[in-house]
Copies of this chain bind each other. A is one copy, B any other.
Amino acid sequence: MNDRSNSRDTRDLVFAATLAAFAERGFHGASMRDIAKRAGVVSSNVYHYSQSKSDLLVELLKKANYDHLNAVEWALSAAGTAPAERLHTAVGAYVGYIVDHPLEALVAHSELRYLGEDDRKRLVVARDRLESIFENIVDEGVRTGAFTTPHGHGATRAVLTMCSGVAQWYRSDGPLTRDEIAAQYADYALGVVGAC
């Protein structure tokens, strides 16, 4: 009855439950019993799949951050060299990931601060790499005159903040499709850097 596929299933259930609980109530607002109940197990059993509540968050964020990074890098690998095109592609992929994984993006964005310093430092590596990708694109655009903003760094940060906000309102039953949202935000981003 409790074969290997079943235990893999339980593990997945636990992490899915964790994600839902953290997204709905926040890290401190969600209890281990909340999580266990959502996963249909007893709370002590959650500790077979992670060492602590913090560890659950770490596991979640590790995957989310790297997946987010990979999504953008993968998209860029098929893009040309023009900064405008690259920014459009990068923002589209960035927002696309958020629309595909709104809970992950929401939790990654808002609960990271509740981790201890060590875990946090290791986790921001992926996030920092993601930011530097955008930074480089914007810098290149500014250098070549494709983007007219005099504040490349600030503009990059503004773009990423703006995009991350999608996780806060996106509902899958909303009026806009994933690609429409991605395209709109890509346009907004070009506006921010002055590529119009």
Contact digits for A13-40, partner B, Cβ 8 Å, 1 yes 0 no: 0000000000001111100000000000
In the complex, how many residues of chain A place their beta carbon closer than 8 angstroms to a beta carbon of chain B? 33
Q: Do A188 and B155 touch (CB < 8 A)?
A: yes
How far, in angstroms, from A151 to B151 measured CA to CA in the complex? 25
Q: How far is the CB of A34 from chain B (nearest CB, A)?
A: 12
Q: Do B158 and A168 touch (CB < 8 A)?
A: no
- Asked whether A90 is an interface residue with its Cβ less than 8 Å from the other chain, the reply is no
How far, in angstroms, from A164 to B187 measured CA to CA in the complex? 20
Q: How far is the CB of A33 from chain B (nearest CB, A)?
A: 12
Q: How far is the CB of A87 from chain B (nearest CB, A)?
A: 12
Q: DSSP class of A's interface residues: helix, strand, loop or mixed?
A: helix
Q: How far is the CB of A52 from chain B (nearest CB, A)?
A: 16
- Asked whether A196 is an interface residue with its Cβ less than 8 Å from the other chain, the reply is yes
Residue ranges of A at the interface with B (Cβ–Cβ < 8 Å)? 25-29, 110, 113-114, 148-149, 151, 154-155, 157-159, 161-162, 164-165, 168-169, 176, 181, 184-185, 187-188, 191-194, 196
Given A29-B114, A149-B191, A191-B191, 17 more pairs with CB closer than 8 A: A25-B28, A25-B114, A26-B27, A26-B113, A27-B29, A110-B110, A149-B187, A154-B176, A154-B184, A155-B188, A158-B165, A158-B185, A161-B165, A162-B165, A191-B193, A191-B194, A192-B192
